[in-house]
Amino acid sequence: MLLQMRQITKTYGSLTANSNVDFSLRQGEIHALVGENGAGKTTLMRILYGMEQPTAGHILLNGEEVAFTNPTDAIRHRIGMVHQHFMLFPTFTIAENIVIGNEPKSGLKFDRKKAVKQVEALCEQYRLPIDPNKKVADIPLGMQQRVEILKVLYQGADIIILDEPTGVLTPLEAKELLVIMRNLANQGKSFIIITHKLHEVMEIADRVTVLRDGKVTGELDAGATNVEELSKLMVGRELLPTTKSDVKLGETVLQVKDVSIMGDKGKPVLDQVSFQVKAGEIVGIAGISGNGQSELIQAISGLQLIDRGEIRLLGDNLKGRSVREIRDIGLSHVPEDRYQWGAAKEGTVLENGTMGHHRTLSRKGFLQGTELRQMVGGFIQQFQIKAGSQDAKVKYLSGGNLQKLIVAREIAQKQPFLIAAEPTRGVDIGAMELIHEELLRKRNEQGAILLVSSELTEILKLSDRILVMYEGRIAGEISAENATEEQISLWMAGGVSHA
């Protein structure tokens, strides 16, 4: 056995993140580590990578016990980690990013030409073609993922940990990554992948270890299990299938007509975008990140001015309206970036949960503390948000638990129109099921929803109509019943419609 983690326990005060966890890895194996938010997956891998030290337990590498006090120790033992949020320097070239920390020198100076040659040789060795002279800022996310993998290979890693490796990739990029992983595994590299995407687990993994509440609930060969069994081991119950009932469409709630926004370089980031959302429907917007979705969301919600066109919400022209005025007209908003737009990190769970509700739950200028606490307590119970207390700062919540708080807060606004941007980003399968149910309940109650998601399965599952954005334009539109993953992926990549 290449790697063994035996009886790993990690406690933080009264909280037990890992409890007597056993985990192993064979050479050339792809081993998936799955579980809900807070199950202990990331903590376990942070221990393996030297970012945390276990309270108890042992790590054996090739049969010999090892202890890592920092990531440098782990790298020295040929263990590398690709984090969920890429740790690259955008203004540096690909070669510079790959060799950073181990730069080839000519005398005392960095030898750039030698770095390029080393990276070219690395690419050839592992059959990962890439232009080492390009800047990271100029390459798509799928290629940035490749750079991260090349970086750990350059460091000599034989064991590669991938944290949510396809979280920001398009379906085509995700498939390419799975092929890369299998090719590298066939060359003797070993992978541990932390992921929520069970269909990808079934496609790529050799073995699966499931954690729930810090304990192992199952270790299975991928070929001898299925998505349903893994889901049950993760959440401790059977997941119910999401059903989308027929709903009679009502009035037009949102009307976007010929909207354009010019970018900094004179090229439009939104180019004559037109569509509408009616009461009782979910309109999904798919597309690779950076194709105008963010600007569209910001234009509708009042965060960005438009140069041409018109946006109307419930018949009211939104031109010149403030964010507060637009929300008062009838908008609620789950933002795509929970930290930048959705929360005050230094604020408490209570304060973040009451944002937007504070004006309706006040009397003569005074907040009704008891009512607010009851409301936020309801969010915590319904969405199973793991928080020490309502007075804990949200910066100490996991990303998935903060996401659940924001979704609960915004759906509870009960506004006619909801923008749901990446509503399940970083949440576990149980929370995803609940969020999907709540979005469909709002739709069934004649709410109008604009769903913007990089998760194509989510778009296909929830939407009544699907729009695809490419380079600031609507590249295609199709009803959910006629939509296929292949057609949408083609539009996302700029391909021509034949639908």
Q: Residue 296 domain-assigned?
A: yes
Distance CA 407, CA 428 (A): 14
pLDDT number for residue 326: 96
Distance CA 345, CA 322 (A): 23
435 and 462 share one domain: yes
119 and 40 share one domain: yes
pLDDT number for residue 496: 60
265 and 151 share one domain: no
Q: Residue 475 domain-assigned?
A: yes
Q: Give the containing element (helix H, strand E) for 221.
A: strand 215-221
Which range among 48-57, 73-82, 384-393 shows the weakest confidence by mean pLDDT? 384-393
Q: Residue 343 domain-assigned?
A: no
pLDDT number for residue 368: 67
pLDDT number for residue 498: 45
Contact residues for 463 (Cβ-Cβ < 8 A; gap 6+): 282, 283, 284, 451, 480, 483
Q: Residue 433 domain-assigned?
A: yes
Distance CA 316, CA 119 (A): 56
326 and 357 share one domain: no
175 and 143 share one domain: yes
Q: Please say whether the beta carbons of 445 and 250 come within 8 A.
A: no
Q: Residue 243 domain-assigned?
A: no
- State which residues form the domain around 488: 252-330+415-492
Q: Residue 240 domain-assigned?
A: no
- Choosing from 407, 428, 457, the residue where a domain stops is 407
Q: Residue 203 domain-assigned?
A: yes
155 and 183 share one domain: yes
Distance CA 18, CA 12 (A): 10
**Residue 23: which of 12, 14, 33, 13 has the closest Cα?**
33
**Measured CA distances, 231 to 103, 319, 381, 482 (Å):** 44, 46, 21, 28
Q: Which two tokens stand for residue 126?
A: 């592992």
What mean pLDDT comes out for the span 374-403? 88
User: Helix 112-126 crosses helix 141-154 at what angle (to 10 degrees)?
Assistant: 100
For 86-113, write each residue's pLDDT tens digit: 788 999 999 999 999 889 988 888 999 9
42 and 184 share one domain: yes
Position with higher pLDDT, 148 vs 276: 276
Q: Residue 344 domain-assigned?
A: no
For 401-458, write each residue's pLDDT tens digit: 899 999 999 999 999 999 999 998 877 777 888 899 999 999 999 999 999 998 888 8
CATH number of the structural domain spanning residue 269: 3.40.50.300
pLDDT number for residue 417: 98
Q: Which two tokens stand for residue 121?
A: 């040789």
Distance CA 208, CA 205 (A): 7
Total-model pTM: 0.72
Specify which of 135-139, 310-314, 388-392 reaches the highest per-range mean pLDDT.
Answer: 310-314
10 and 159 share one domain: yes
For 188-227, write each residue's pLDDT tens digit: 999 999 987 888 899 999 999 999 989 999 999 999 999 8
pLDDT number for residue 168: 67
Q: What is the CA radius of gyration of the chain?
A: 24
Q: What is the mean pLDDT of the chain?
A: 90
320 and 431 share one domain: yes
Please give the tally of structural domains in the chain: 3
